Chains A and B, each alone.
Chain A
Amino acid sequence: MKNYILLAIIAVLLSCSSCNDLLDKEPLDKISSGIFWMSKTDFEMALTANYGMLQENDIFGARYANWDVLTDNGYGQHNSFNSKDIVSGNINPTTGGYISDLYNYSYKAIARANIFLTELKNYEGNDLSENEKKAAEAEVTFLRAFHYFNLYLHYGDVPLVLEPLSLENQVQAKVDAAQIYDQVIKDLDFAIANLNAVPYFENSGHATKSTARAFKARVLINEAYGDTGVPNTTILAEVKQLCLQVMGEYSLSPNFEDVFQDKGQQGNTEIIFSVNFLAPDDLPSRGVDLIYGDWISVSPLQNLVDAFECADGLPWGTSPLTNTDDPFENRDPRLAKTIFVDYPDWGNGNIHSPTNSRPTGYGLMKFLEPDNTPYGYSTLSQQNTVILRLGEVLLMYAEAQNEIEGPDATVYQAINDIRARVNMPALTEGLNKDEMREKIRHERRIEMAFEGLRFFDLKRWHIAGEVLNSVTDGILTYHWEDKFYHWPLPQEEIDKSQGVLIQNSDY
């Protein structure tokens, strides 16, 4: 019997001897932090992920056009990012959608940038030169500025985080909006000083000096209007200078649609910054062709369609070319390139029949790819989302110059260049400053429709209430209050901050 007992004990001991091996399990398909940040390659991959962040959540990626459903331009039947609540003015700390997503997304991107910048600062390896370090730092500070500007724009006072946070210091109070603004400018100035000096289209998709300049122009032109909508010409002068620098490097794409369609985007001399996609492995979970072409997630409103001039440059309805039986005939060519009626038709029978209903009868043509029909789940939509392009810079220049100097030849030149590209007649000579301001604003709405700028424009010009509260064809009942110039901070964040994070005053 004793043998048996012995045997049992031996068996138990034997099986125990492999204890530690048995229980030490490491992830087999992921990198653990202990072995990263060790080489130039690691930093390259981490830099890539900072750009890759731009694709996340579709806020600035495949659904960038959805920002326009917050405006008089469109209606979002699928309530993406809770657009319906926002449009109807049901905005409060628990609304969700853009109001929480933009906040969460921005800080996620900022954290990624902060981790990168911290690790880069601490890196002692000699396979990165000081110049390479500076260049990488500049790219990431540009991206951080991009995200902070969005926070600044939509929330105002928010916490300023410049270092990686942990559980211990995760609760931060908000700082004055001016401090956020200063940080944006500081980061952009560092980027302008240290980024590559070649144009974006020659810089393999990395941000360049001109990217940072164009973006700074956008930040400043917003700042110029302050809280009143009356422009500060000192700031506009700076905008003008930045625009001029950028204008010297870029030229308008000969074809308007090339800016948005895949083939035309390659090396396009107009694009200053874009969020890039590549088939088949780096695509949004739902591509733009599916979202806009099949789902009709964004429906252009009638008032926007009506805003497109006739081919003679006169407003629709006033122009003798007005044809109520075929409203798209003899119109600004950008109308048909921006909006389709019923279904996208690329000619020669190349059409797509959307599966979802068309609440306004219109759909968004601008970002669709003719070669990708029929649009469905397997469509490989690799069109890049254009964030900055020369068209906008020309319009910013015109806007700034018109406010500073009035409608001089350079103002006409900037606008007419844009119009000439689509064979629209030049603006009438002899407009006064106010008339020109209206022309510029109109041109911006048409040229930049669904490029995510309309909401930005309505806010900085301080005409959001005036415009949005008079929308009558919006399917929803529009409701704007001036407190919406700043959104509330997400309630969850207030809750988690144990009283440190204070809600914006109007909510």
Chain B
Amino acid sequence: MKKNVTESGGYYLNFRNLILKMKLTAFILLFVVFQTMAGTLLAQGKFSLDFNNKTVEQVLLDLEIQTKLGFIYNKDLLDVERKVSINVEDATLDDILKKLFPSNNVTFHRVNNQVVISPKFEDSKQQALISGKVTDESGEPLPGVTVIIKGSTQGTVTNVDGNYTLEASQGDVLQFSFVGMKTKEVVFEDQTVINIEMVADAIGLEEVIAVGYGTQKKVNLTGAVASVKGEEMVKRPVTNPTSMLQGMVSGVQIVQNSGEPGNEGVSISIRGKGTFSSAGSSPLVLIDGVQGNLADVNPNNIENISVLKDAASAAIYGARAANGVVLVTTKTGEEGKVTAEYNGSFGIHTVTKMWDVIDNSAEYMELFNEARINSGLNSGLYSDEMINAYRNTTDRNLYPNTNWMDHLFSPAPTWNHNLVFSGGNKGTKFNISLGYVDQQGVMKGFDYKKYNIRANLTSAVNEKIRFGLNFSAKQGKKSGARQGADDTFLAAMAQAPTYSPQLSDGSGRYTFKAYDFESNNKNPIAIIDNNVNKNVTDYVISTQGWLDVELLKGLNWYTKAAINLDFIKSDDFMPKVPLYNFRTNEYMSLLNVGGEGLINQDEQNVYRNLFTYLKFDKQVGDGHTLNAQVGYSMEDNVYQYLKGYRKEFPTDILRELDAGSLSVQQANGTKNEWALMSLFGRLGYNFKDRYLFEANMRYDATSRLHADSRWGAFPSFSGAWRVTEEQFFKELDVAWLNNLKLRGSYGELGNQNIGLYPYQSILALTGNYSFDDSALSSGVAQTDLSNQNIKWETTSILDFGLDLTAFQGLSVTFDWYKKRTSDILRSSQVTALVGLEAPTVNSGTMENTGVELSLQYANQVKSGFLSGLTYNLGFNIDHYKNELVDFGEREIKGYSIREEGAEWDAFYMLEYIGIFRSEQEVQNSPKQFNDNTKPGDLKWKDQNNDGKIDYDDRVVMSGRYPAFNYSFNFASNWKGFDLSAQFQGVEDVKIFIEKHGIVPFWQGSPPLTEWRDRWTESNPTASMPRIYFGNKAPQNYRRNSSWFLQDASYLRLKNLTFGYTLPGSFTKRIGLSHLRLYFSGDNLLTITDYPGLDPERAGSGRFVNAPQNKIYSFGVNVKF
């Protein structure tokens, strides 16, 4: 295989395969290091050749096959088009090469498996010694930079301090190259010192990124693949790596639902909601090629993440890839000096926003009365005496104005420590890391601790056989109130300000209301202080072993086996906590902890995967490159759990099952399994990097489908045209355009998460009944209608894209796609008459059409005060439209409708058009249901103009899916300082909100302060309607209407990082090679119209939703 690898052109390298995933620059480094070995025995063994009138190149090609060596030469300097005839038997390679180049004007050097053939230099030229220092943009020395004299094999590498010395002749071109940096060339005239500053290769033309079962040069991709570097992600001080991907890739929507430590509820979806089957829209996440959970990975271990968005790139994962694939590659060591690195940070988390509630007791009480009377409730009112007691008191201890949120939330610290040891030599490389996160919740009692260990090892038996081990273990310990953060939050919301969490007598006893008629939820402070906790510890152990054998030149056999173990252990204790009336100190009730006793649960999941493939790569003839890959994979999964419960415990201190009484106890447990078996293959063709074609095929069989239909084939085809590689284009001399590639792809994918046994006819153990009130009889009933004839649902994606790089710094990626899922495995629409749960059938089609645009620009300021400033700007935006193409009968569920032609679960409700300002307006408007509508009530639109408002006036409203997602970022470096910012936003999305906070006095919750401007007879122009009392509010307030549909668009400063890297001269003195101090802030600024706490949440539902965190974090990065 030949590749044109330098910008100047004409420098051809023949090397045997790409599986070494080694970047070219690293390779050059190697051969220069080993140049001292040049001239030694080139190859052992004897070879035979018989060629007549062939070019030297063709002879060398044949020699490559025989010798398993690669030949490197420069076509400009070496005439390989020269025709020769050669006929030898059992000759050594040295002899053959001498015959091939009889004029004795070339030299041969063997470097590892490469043979460099270069012309001999003329001795007449004057050689001089040059020295210099190579630094990066920030002035830091760069060790390991390859410096060669262009067109020769002479060269060296910079040392630890970035210094080099080299002999060169006048007129020589010195070429400096380093991984991830733009190659730089300098002409040697008469300087004795040449110092070089290297610049990062922003457009990444040479970048190699991970694709399914392998790697690919980014320029040669035919599919829609985006990649993100680990170092970009870890800028954010959050602890969940999934959140870190937010805003990084166009077309990938990441939503974090909550700021609860260890339970952020982060969802990833690629190109929208792909299906309405239970299979869901989560992409397949592969960690080093094996299914895993991104949240379990220590973000510091991530080398890069590739997102396979279209069918062409994802089809090799077939039945698991309908929602796209996220490939996570973890870091390996580099050969060379062993390095140790420490990363640590300390952060303070606060909530992004907190409610502004009416926490003045007297005001609350008056509003409470008003709301109750408005709701037709004339009992259970505060008396004037009670209200005055609060209003006029001088003892706020006895008559408090309690803000319950203040009791529940406080800024909380997070510590993060990471230690990495990395290095290698003689073919063995390692990267070993330890990570520790201790995150305390801004909501009291919610804490998370995470421990990560990872060891990635690679070694080789010989030059042909390499093997390795990736091992990782994680322990996550999550503790918090048993019913979760949202529940605790809403419990705090549902308390009156008229009492404190504890009695005013200082006894520490917890309260239950001040007055009997008040409504409330459980006392959240009592929950937290008494550790009414569900503590969950999970252990994720992932082990992978792999073997890579080079069978022939260009043919490799790769095998990986993996076992992932996941153990989740939880204990859930429900103590008895007495509550007392705040006014009378009398015992009232037990704290509602949702039960009594202890539940212990042990869950275990064992996932195994073995895959093996052959990969072949070969150049045939002039410029034609073929590659082929074929493989086999099997995986299976066994999940089981065991759960025990006892009700009565002698004390709240003993929290183990054996401490409980045997009188009431329960045991539960079960096990389930699935398995998948697959064949896969890939065929690629590349003509001179100009025309690229690829076909992928996966053939999957699953245990989830009946044996007759369990095999599914998932093919894909893609092609690309690199316009800029065309001869005619080169002649146009459009220098500003560095690369232009047009892509197109089509493919089909499956979705296997369709339940474990969807086709089997199963009788449920249900309907147990106690006839005689003393013994329980077991019931068995058929509850489901089964359907054996189900097959795979299919997602097809058509994608057209464009990749462009220009001005040596601007890169543009654009994609248009149509993603269509048909034969959706969904519950059939069964009439109630059948009386059984619907069977799974293949029916329904959903379509997402979208566009994605990503812009990156990188530049360096060359002169002026800011000289040396490097910066890059990025912008991502994506839009998609969801449409339910084929569904069946429409279904209305609450405020959502599923109807053909509309988006899935589109909002469907009455349209709110204002507040009735007067009795006259009520009279002159269409009658609203059978309601007793009064001035101050919500007014709905008569959509069908029939003169009355009823449910026929519900309409579809937009906003279930955003109009677009976008993000932009900025990063810069200057003299050791770095500054970066990332903004992320969602536009035109709505959420429907309910209960506490939006309906005042829901479970007694205090109204938000905006209710001060509510409709009353004396304030008819108010912004808020007439106030009603919680769930006693009449239907004319409560009906699903767009009054509750809120705009949740936002733009937020996701991250701002400012860092300073101390000068190398200083760090060296204290024995370090690198020292950076930084500040990183998360969610510092949010622009939104959303009236609630945080517009960034999983979707519609309760108004109360644990908000995200605003983080101020300080950190240090040290390398030894």
User: A residues engaging B (CB < 8 A)?
Assistant: 1, 4-5, 8, 11-12, 15-16, 19-20, 22-34, 36, 42, 44-46, 48-56, 77-79, 84-85, 88-90, 92, 94-95, 103-104, 107-112, 114-115, 159, 161, 165-167, 170-172, 204-206, 265-266, 276-282, 342-343, 352-353, 355-361, 374, 376-378, 380, 382, 384, 475-477, 479, 490-493, 495-497, 501
Q: A276 — which chain B residues lie within 8 A by C-beta? A: 769-773
Closest to B704 in A: A25
Contact indicator B780/A4 (Cβ below 8 Å): no
Q: Is the CB of A28 within 8 A of B763?
A: no
For residue A280, which residue of chain B has the nearest CB? B664
Q: B931 contacts A48, CB within 8 Å? A: no
B892 close to chain A: CB less than 8 A: yes
Residue among B595, B951, B1003 facing the most chain A CB atoms (10 A cut-off):
B951
Tell yes or no: B1069 within 8 A of A by CB.
no
Chain A residue nearest to B892 (CB atoms) is A94
Select which of B589, B597, B612 is within 8 A of A11 by beta carbon. B612
> Does A16 lie within 8 Å of B1035, measured CB to CB?
no
Give residues in B with beta carbon < 8 Å to A: 375-377, 379-380, 512, 516-522, 549, 551-552, 557, 559, 574, 588-590, 592-597, 610, 612, 614, 632, 634, 636, 647, 664, 666, 670-675, 677, 701-704, 707, 710, 756-757, 760-782, 785-787, 828-836, 839, 841, 889-892, 929-932, 950-951, 1003-1004, 1030-1032, 1034-1035
Which of B677, B770, B785 makes the CB contact (< 8 A) with A167?
A: B785
- Which residues of chain B come closer than 8 Å to A282, judged between CB atoms? 768-770, 776
Q: Compute how far the CA of A479 lies from the CA of B674 in the bound complex, rounded to whole angstroms.
A: 55
CB-CB nearest in chain A for B782: A115
A32 → chain B closest CB, angstroms: 6
With contacts A22-B703, A33-B761 known, what are 12 further pairs, Cβ within 8 A? Answer: A11-B612, A25-B757, A49-B779, A51-B767, A51-B769, A95-B951, A107-B832, A167-B787, A170-B831, A277-B770, A376-B592, A377-B596
Give the CA-CA distance A392 to B787 in the complex, in Å: 46
Contact A31 B380 (CB under 8 A): no
Other-chain residue from B588, B647, B760, B773 in contact with A266 (beta carbon distance below 8 A): B773
When C-beta atoms are compared, the residue in chain A nearest to B1035 turns out to be A84
What are 17 residue pairs bridging A and B, where the CB atoms are less than 8 Å apart in the complex?
A: A22-B634, A23-B702, A27-B672, A33-B786, A34-B761, A48-B779, A111-B835, A161-B835, A353-B588, A359-B379, A376-B596, A377-B596, A479-B930, A491-B892, A492-B889, A496-B831, A501-B831
Q: Are A32 and B761 in contact (CB under 8 A)?
A: yes
Contact indicator B766/A111 (Cβ below 8 Å):
no
In the bound assembly, the distance between CA atoms of A205 and B559 in angstroms comes to: 64
Which of B710, B785, B835 is in CB contact (< 8 Å) with A112?
B835
Instruction: Please measure, in the bound complex, the distance between the C-alpha atom of A36 and the C-alpha atom of B593, giving whole angstroms.
Output: 41
A205 & B1031 in contact (Cβ 8 Å cutoff): no
B890, A495: Cβ atoms under 8 Å?
yes
Contacts of A19 in B (CB 8 A): 677, 701
- Tell me the complex Cα distance, A458–B828, Å: 39
Known: A4-B549, A374-B589. A360 touches B379 (CB 8 A): yes
Of all chain B residues, the one with the shortest Cβ separation from A166 is B785
B829-A496 in contact (CB<8A):
yes
Whether A356 and B761, one on each chain, are in contact in the complex, defined by CB atoms closer than 8 angstroms, is no
Q: Which residues of B contact A107 (CB under 8 A)?
A: 832-835
Nearest-CB distance from A109 to chain B (Å)? 7
Given the complex of chains A and B, what is the CA–CA distance between A278 and B769 in angstroms?
8
**In the complex, which residues of chain A have a beta carbon less than 8 angstroms from the beta carbon of B701?**
19, 23
Which chain B residue lies CB-closest to A278?
B770
Q: Given the interface contacts A15-B632, A31-B780, does A359 sit within 8 Å of B1032 by beta carbon?
A: yes
The interface residues of chain A lying within 8 Å CB-to-CB of B782 are: 33, 112, 115
- Pick the contact of A23: B375, B710, B763 (CB < 8 A): B710
Closest to B630 in A: A12
Please measure, in the bound complex, the distance between the C-alpha atom of A11 and the C-alpha atom of B772, giving whole angstroms: 61
Q: Is the pair A8, B551 in contact by a Cβ cutoff of 8 Å? A: yes
Contacts of B1030 in A (CB 8 A): 357
Closest to B519 in A: A357
A355 and B594 CA atoms in complex are apart in Å by: 13
Asked whether, in the complex, the Cβ of B774 is within 8 Å of the Cβ of A278, the reply is yes
Given A78-B1031, A477-B932, residue A94 in contact with residue B951 (CB < 8 A): yes
Whole-angstrom distance from the CB of B370 to the nearest CB of chain A?
16
A89 CA to B778 CA, complexed, in Å: 42
Assess the A374–B634 pair: CB atoms within 8 A: no
Nearest opposing residue in chain B for A116, CB measure:
B781
Inter-subunit contact A45/B779 (CB<8 Å)? yes
> Given contacts A476-B1034, A497-B831, are A25 and B673 in contact (CB under 8 A)?
yes
Query: How many inter-chain residue pairs (CB < 8 Å) link A and B?
Result: 300
Question: B632 to A16, Cβ gap below 8 A?
Answer: yes
A331 and B1032 CA atoms in complex are apart in Å by 30
Chain B residues with Cβ below 8 Å from A166 are 785, 834
Q: What B residues does A94 contact at CB under 8 A?
A: 892, 951
Q: How far is the CA of A42 from the CA of B779 in the complex (A)?
A: 9
Residues of B with C-beta under 8 A to A92: 950-951
Q: Assuming A355-B589, A358-B380, is B776 touching A170 (CB within 8 A)?
A: no
Would A52 and B771 count as touching, CB distance under 8 A? no
A2 → chain B closest CB, angstroms:
9
Task: Please name the residue on chain B nearest to A44 by beta carbon.
Answer: B777
How many angstroms from the CA of A392 to the CA of B614 in the assembled complex?
81
**Least CB distance, A165 to chain B, in whole angstroms:** 5
CA distance A22 to B677 in the complex (A): 8
Chain A residues with CB under 8 Å of B704's CB are 25
Q: Among A25, A109, A356, point to the contact of B703 (Cβ < 8 A).
A: A25
Which residues of chain B come closer than 8 Å to A491, judged between CB atoms? 892
**Cα-based distance from A31 to B763 in the complex (angstroms):** 5
Q: Considering the chains assembled together, what is the distance between the CA atoms of A90 and B829 in angstroms? A: 27
Closest 3 CB pairs between A and B?
A111-B835, A52-B767, A49-B767
Residues of A within 8 A of B831 (CB): 165, 170-172, 493, 496-497, 501
Tell me the nearest residue of chain A to B588, going by C-beta: A353
B519 touches A356 (CB 8 A): yes
A159-B835 Cα distance, complex, nearest whole Å = 13
Q: How far is the CB of B86 from chain A (nearest CB, A)?
A: 25
Q: In the assembly, what is the distance between CA of A358 and CA of B1029, in Å?
A: 12
| B592 and A377 contact, CB distance less than 8 A | yes
**Contact residues in B for A352 (Cβ distance below 8 Å):** 589
Known: A49-B781, A378-B595. A23 touches B675 (CB 8 A): yes
In the complex, the answer to whether B930 meets A477 with C-beta atoms within 8 Å is yes
Does A111 lie within 8 Å of B834, measured CB to CB?
yes
Separation of A111 and B589 alpha carbons in the complex (Å): 44
* Cβ–Cβ < 8 Å partners of A28 in chain B: 670-673
B551: min CB distance to chain A, Å? 4
Known: A16-B632, A24-B703. A31 touches B762 (CB 8 A): yes
Q: Is the CB of A281 within 8 A of B666?
A: yes
A contact residues around B777 at 8 Å (CB): 44-45, 48
Given contacts A23-B702, A167-B828, contact A377 B520 (CB under 8 A): no
**Docked pose: A28 CA to B634 CA in angstroms:** 22
In angstroms, Cα B664 to Cα A94, docked, is 43
Q: Is the CB of B768 within 8 A of A1?
A: no
Give the CA-CA distance A159 to B834 in the complex, in Å.
Answer: 11
A55: which B residues are within 8 A, CB to CB?
767, 769
Question: Assuming A205-B770, A205-B771, A266-B773, is B707 touching A24 (CB within 8 A)?
Answer: yes
Task: Assess whether B763 is in contact with A36, with CB atoms less than 8 Å apart.
Answer: yes
Note all chain B residues with C-beta closer than 8 A to A360: 379
Contact A51 B766 (CB under 8 A): no
Please name all residues of chain B whose beta carbon is closer than 8 Å to the beta carbon of A380 when the two chains form the complex: 664
Q: Which of A89, A114, A495 contacts B889 (CB 8 A)?
A: A495
The docked-state distance in angstroms from the alpha carbon of A23 to that of B712 is 14
Query: Which of A46, A52, A265, A361 is close to B768, meaning CB atoms less than 8 Å apart?
Result: A52
Q: Is the CB of A204 within 8 A of B771?
A: yes
User: Would you call A357 and B1004 a contact (CB within 8 A)?
Assistant: yes
Question: In the complex, A440→B582 CA distance in Å?
Answer: 48
Q: Look across to chain A and name the residue whose beta carbon is closest to the beta carbon of B774.
A: A278
Q: How far is the CB of B503 from chain A (nearest CB, A)?
A: 15
- Interchain CB contact under 8 A, B835 and A1: no
Residues from chain A with Cβ under 8 Å of B703 in the complex: 22-25
